[in-house]
Amino acid sequence: MSGFVMPGQVSNSPGGSGGSFSTGQGSTPTLEISVACQNLANKDWTSKSDPFCVLYELSGSHWQEMGRTETIQDCLEPAWQTKFLVNNSQQLLKFEVYDHDKDSSNLKRQDFLGGLEVPLANLVTAPGGRFISVMKEGPSKRGRFTFVTEARTDNSDTITLQLAAEKVDKKDMFSKSDPYFVLSKSAVQGNFVTVHKSETIKNTLNPVWAPITIPVVDVCNGDYDRKLQIEVYDWDSNGSHDIIGSFTTTLREMGSAMVAGKDFPLINSKKLSKKGYKNSGIVKLKSFKVGGEYQLACLPSIKRNGH
C-alpha cells in the first residue's frame, strides 16, 4: 500500500471513506470535514430539535446533495459523528441543518434550522483547520457552525474494542444511571471531535457496551499517539445528558493497558474539589484489537480473561 507511514506519524496521502460520506474519488487529497453546531433554534413544542446536517456541492449552476449526517435527538448543540469526505476539486460547499420531524427523506417535510455557503478553501486554510461561522440563513438567529477539516491518511487498519464500566455515579433520583459513552479525537486548541457515540444502557451502574469496529483513520488518522477522549454520560429523555466522568488516552496506551490489565478512572472535574473524591467509576477494556494489513506489535488481539 503506497503512502503508509508507521504508527505515530502522519502522512498527507489520501485515505478511505469508511463511516463517512464522500463527494469524490481520485488522486487529489481526501479531506475530512467534521461538523458541529451551537445555539440552534428549538422547533419542537415538548422537546428540543432533532437536528441533522446536509452537505451540497455546486455543480454547474445547481446544488447537488452529497450526503447527510445522522440525526441527534433532543439537541441544540449537535456534534455529528458522521464525517463528510471531499477533495480539493470542490470550490463551493453548502451546509444546511434541519430538524427531523417526519419519517421522510424529503427535506421539504422537515423544519429548516440554518445554513451556510462557504468556499472549501476557507475551511482548509483556517488556523489548525478549525473554521467557525454564524449561520447566514434560517431561524437560528444565534446559530453557529464549527468545522474541523484535515487531510486523510492512507491507513486501512480497523480498531475493534469493547468497553465496560463499573461503579459509575448514580445520577437519577428514582433509578440508577443510564450510561453511554462518547469517543472523540483531539483537534486544535484543545478541542475534540466526536468519532463514535455508543448505545445507552438503561438503569445500571455497571454497563457493558456492545463491541465496536471503526477504521483507524476515523479514530486517529493513522497517528496511534493522537490524544483521544472517552466521556461517559447519563442519558436523560429531555436531552440534558449529565456528564459522569471522562479520561484521555491514545490507541497505543489502550493497547498497553489491555496487556497490563490496566483500568481507566472516570474523573468528573466538578467533583475534584470535594474532599475524598477519587473517581466517578472506572472503565475497563473487555477486548481490543487492531487489524488490517499493518498491525502494531504493542497492540495485540487479546481478550481479558474472566470478563
CA 203 to chain centroid = 25
At 218 the pLDDT is: 96
Query: What is the mean predicted confidence (pLDDT) over 109-129?
Result: 94
Q: 243-272: string of b/e by CB count within 10 Å (b at 16+)?
A: bbbbbebbbbbbbebbeeeebbebbbeeee
At 27 the pLDDT is: 55
Query: What is the mean predicted confidence (pLDDT) over 153-162?
Result: 92
Residue 41 CA: distances (Å) to CA of 4, 48, 136, 145: 44, 9, 14, 13
pLDDT per residue as tens digits for the range 187-232: 977 899 999 999 999 999 999 999 999 999 999 999 999 999 999 9
At 239 the pLDDT is: 74
pLDDT per residue as tens digits for the range 246-259: 999 999 999 999 99
pLDDT band at 20 (very low <50, low <70, confident <90, very high): low
- Rounded to an integer, what distance in angstroms lies between the CA atom of residue 151 and that of residue 138? 30
* CATH number belonging to domain 20-151: 2.60.40.150
251 close to 290: Cβ distance less than 8 angstroms: yes
Per-residue pLDDT at 294 exceeds 90: no
Query: What is the mean predicted confidence (pLDDT) over 120-141?
Result: 93
Q: 158-292 belongs to which homologous superfamily?
A: C2 domain (2.60.40.150)
Give the lowest-confidence range in 101-105, 179-183, 253-257: 101-105
Fold agreement (20-151, 158-292): yes
Per-residue pLDDT at 17 exceeds 70: no
Domain ranges of the chain: 20-151, 158-292
